[in-house]
Chains A and B, each alone.
Chain A
Amino acid sequence: MSKTKQLLSLLCRRLLPTTCCLAPFSANSQIPSLSSHLQSSSRAPLPLGLDFFPNPKTYLLSFCSQSAAKLDSTPKRCWNCVADAPSSTPFLYCDSCRTIQPVDLSIDYFQIFGLEKKYEIEVDGLERMYKDWQKKLHPDLVHSKSEKEREYAAEQSARVIDAYRTLSKPLSRAVYILRLEGVDVDEEQTVSDPELLTEIMEIREAVEEAPDSQALNQIQSRMKEKLEETSDSFEDAFRRRNFDEAVTCTQRMTYYQRASEEILKKL
């Protein structure tokens, strides 16, 4: 029963942006800081007559100070003690009654870690925050609790793990932040930029023919350099909102990353 609820709530959330919010993604990206208390939780009833949906947890953090329509604007409440959600931290866990909340897919990975939605982040702070979250959300802590909460724990902690992994590596972070902007790298598309491909071919051939680990390490450090360079280019392109260029950068990074992994296999 709860699964169908979740499915329906997902469907409704997918529909809502197209029907009522002007430009959810672009509006979000204009907002400077996550920790600023800009969310507006109006008490307007859900459009599309979704009141049959006895799910008070369909609150979506909406940072659109300019957008007239809100995404889903019923205020978040804890399912257990009905306390209001705090305005400043993502509502994964209710501190008043210490219960884990169900996964809210509208909270993106950056919000989970209290970070601004931009590519350059403080990677050092991530681990500490990740551990702090797991101290509240980990499934091992809820053995004595209800089945519902154990389910929430499993899903929430899995999501936090995913968020941590995605954000801690530059390439996955780049792909994720592009996805949040609605830009997906098409798997099917083949690339035929001769310059890039020739470069990669040469690198891969060099790896294959490398006589010893010293040569491999040399190539490895070159790869790291290239990755950093391309990462900077990505940041630049993303900031200028030149998404085509940004995608090209992620493609280059994927190739360098692949080469780097092959070197590690050989070492």
Chain B
Amino acid sequence: MLRLVASRLLGTASREVPSRPLQILPRLYHENVIDHYNNPRNVGSFDKNDPNVGTGLVGAPACGDVMKLQIKIDEESGKIVDACFKTFGCGSAIASSSVATEWVKGKSMDEVLTIKNTEIAKHLSLPPVKLHCSMLAEDAIKAAVKDAEAKRAKMNGSSKAADVN
């Protein structure tokens, strides 16, 4: 099932990555990127309305990419226990968001805000022209955290009101 979703997702991704990159065009994409492209981790969706889910939806207008990154927060500890993504865009964008979902798992929300696009770019050896893809991933993380925090604040607010009553 996951493979089907993944392969469908890959089917809509850009044609930039050739079918046998290592043979035809060596070193066009870093092996980490190809790895994330062929074996994407954490593709999927959480329920947007779940109070413990934060959704970050960002887009890069220049290239028409759109990236959705979701995080699941543990109520008690406030840490991110799970993450998933869905990205429509080039291989670098897909890989960046895949890396992002891997890196946020198990961390606290404050911690993940320190993840920089330059780190993602370095991990994937992104060329200059693709740096904005990593920027997009960083913005997606921030948006997801912002959404999750807003939901938590709302929940705390309403539960406090309930306590007062």
Contact = CB atoms under 8 A, between A and B. Distances in A.
Contacts of A255: 59, 61, 64, 66
A254 B62 contact: yes
A197 B66 contact: yes
Interface in B49-102: 57-64, 66, 68, 86, 88
B121 interface: no
B135 A188 contact: yes
Given A187-B132, A190-B135, A254-B64, A200 B59 contact: yes
B64 A257 contact: yes
Contact of B57 (A187, A198, A205): A198
A198 B88 CA distance: 12
Nearest to A257: B64
Majority secondary structure, B binding face = mixed
A201 B86 contact: yes
Majority secondary structure, A binding face = helix
Given A201-B66, A208-B8, A262-B12, A191 B60 contact: yes
B58 A190 contact: yes
Contacts of B8: 208-209
B62 A185 contact: yes
B11 interface: yes
Most chain A CB within 10 A, of B59, B61, B66, B86, is at B61
B11 A185 contact: no
B20 interface: no
Interface residues of B, number: 22
Contacts of B27: none
B132 A192 contact: no
Interface string A250-263: 11001101110010
B139 to A, nearest CB: 5
B104 interface: no
A194 interface: yes
A189 B135 CA distance: 9
A192 B59 contact: yes
A12 interface: no
Contacts of A187: 60, 62-63, 132
A251 B62 CA distance: 7
A190 B66 contact: no
A250 B11 CA distance: 26
A77 interface: no
**Interface size for chain A: under 10, 10 to 19, 20 to 34, or 35 or more residues?**
20 to 34
Interface in B123-146: 132, 135-136, 139, 143
Contact of B139 (A190, A193, A254): A190
B17 interface: no
B59 A191 contact: yes
Nearest to B60: A190
B9 interface: yes
Contact of B12 (A194, A201, A207): A207
A204 B67 CA distance: 11
Interface in A154-213: 185-194, 196-198, 200-201, 204-205, 207-209
B160 interface: no
Contact of A208 (B9, B57, B64, B66): B9
15 contacts: A185-B62, A187-B62, A188-B135, A190-B59, A190-B139, A191-B59, A192-B143, A201-B88, A204-B12, A204-B66, A204-B88, A208-B12, A254-B61, A254-B64, A255-B61
Given A200-B59, A200-B66, A201-B68, 10 more contacts: A188-B135, A190-B58, A190-B59, A194-B57, A196-B59, A201-B86, A201-B88, A204-B88, A250-B61, A254-B62
